Amino acid sequence: MGADIAISVQNVVKAFGQGAAAVRALDDVSVDIRKGEFFTLLGPSGCGKTTLLRLIAGFEMPTGGVILLDGADITNLPPNKRPVNTVFQSYALFPHLTVAQNVAFGLQMLGQPAAKVKARTDEMLALVKLDTFANRKVSQLSGGQQQRVALARALAPAPKVLLLDEPLSALDLKLRQAMQIELKRLQTETGITFVFVTHDQEEALTMSDRIAVMSNGNIQQVGTAKDIYIHPKNRFVANFIGESNFLTGEAADGALKLATGETIRVVGLKAGGKITVVVRPEQLRLGAENDGDLKAKVRTLVYFGTDTHCYLSLSDGTEIVARLQSPASGEAGLAEGQLVGIRFADSSVQVVED
């Protein structure tokens, strides 16, 4: 710890407004972002992820708490004194400058000699594959190209941390997927720490080294994509990342007792109190009526191509979704109204906080 931490956010509080009307956009948030990692702040709109990014950039000052960059306190530094650059959601390219002038802007403001600025600008334009567009006006570029200019402009001064505020949200799906790969490549090639804000879980899962899931001004869980998907800490995280089935019941020793009277094996569970477990739809196995942990009735089958979604209901009416791989014939071998047995693999059942 310590030396390999790029950004350390410690007990940061950000309130907008005064007194009783104040809204806490961030409520005592602490997180460490490691050097050279692709770190994603993921959450629904209004969860505080953009506020946290703006605090790191210096556009907002925290109401309380400390932000460290490489161990040095930057909490009260203005944005132009922080070795941190931002890629804005709207790109915010300078309309009166050419592509090359946009990229050179930060370097010129840092007072670098013209020859060095020119060399670095060329290098950056080559990095984002826009070398042939150097003398175009930014308004002559497509959305994807403008995105690249914004990236090159923010990377040019070689910031210690690059902040990206939902940079892909304005692009169409195809371009977005291409840019995801592009971003990951740039991050690997430059070795710069990326802090990426998004509300898109797929974006977060595919690009990030680690993800912080946020809601209501708090970080709910920090971990790798696999960590968060397989071991969601609470109901919010399980719900936000991927699809989830929640089952609630009484905890017994090594098992969960449902309201239907049936039980599911939960390894290591201690008896006592009401608990909730989460099971991913693709982890469920369906079999014959008497061959399984739970009995259920098939209500609806929806064919999605690669897989088929099977909507089931338990005997007490609880709804459950199973995602089954579609066989080559396209027939899942199930019929609506059929009774089936649901089987759980031990590792697929995760206890979560409510």
Partner 1 sequence: MSPAEETSARTSARNGWILSIPALVVLGLAAVGPLLIILLYSFLEAGTHGNVVWAFSTKGWSQILWTKDIFTDTYVWADAHLSILWRSVKLSLLTTLTTFAVGFPTAWFIATRPPRQRAMWLFLITIPFWTNLLIRTYAINEVIRNEGILNVLLLKLGIVSEPLHLMYTDVAIFTGMTYVYLPLMVLPLFAAIDRFDMRLLEAGYDLYAGRWQILRRIILPVVKPGIIAGSILVFVPSLGAYVTPRVLGGGKQMMLGNLIDLQFGQGKNWPLGAALSLTLLVIVTLALLYYVKVANGEKRNG
Binding interface with partner 1 (CB under 8 A): 57-59, 78-80, 84-86, 88, 90, 92-96, 105-106, 109-110, 137, 139, 153-154, 157
- In the complex, the smallest distance separating the C-beta of residue 269 from partner 1, rounded to whole angstroms, is 50
What would the DSSP string read from start to end of 242-302?
A: S--EEEEEEEETTEEEETTS-EEE-TTPPS-SEEEEEE-GGG-EEE-TTSSSEEEEEEEEE
- Rounded least distance, CB 251 to partner 1, Å: 51
Cβ proximity to partner 1, 101 vs 338, nearer residue: 101
Q: Which is nearer to partner 1, 163 or 237 (CB)?
A: 163
The least CB distance from residue 36 to partner 1, in Å, is: 21
Nearer to partner 1, 90 or 224 (CB): 90
List residues bridging with 294 in a β-sheet: 342
- Report the relative pairing of strands 307-314 and 319-325 from DSSP bridges: antiparallel
Return the CA Rg of the chain: 25
Q: For residues 196 and 344, which CB has a smaller minimum distance to partner 1 in the complex?
A: 196
Looking at the DSSP assignment, which residues form a beta bridge with residue 162? Answer: 85, 194
| Exposed/middle/buried for residue 77 (C-beta within 10 Å: 0-12, 13-18, 19+) | middle
Task: Say if CB 140 and CB 95 are below 8 A apart.
Answer: no
Q: CB of residue 96 vs partner 1: minimum separation in angstroms?
A: 4
State the nearest-atom distance from the C-beta of 105 to partner 1, in Å: 5
Closest to partner 1 by CB, 46 vs 83, is 83
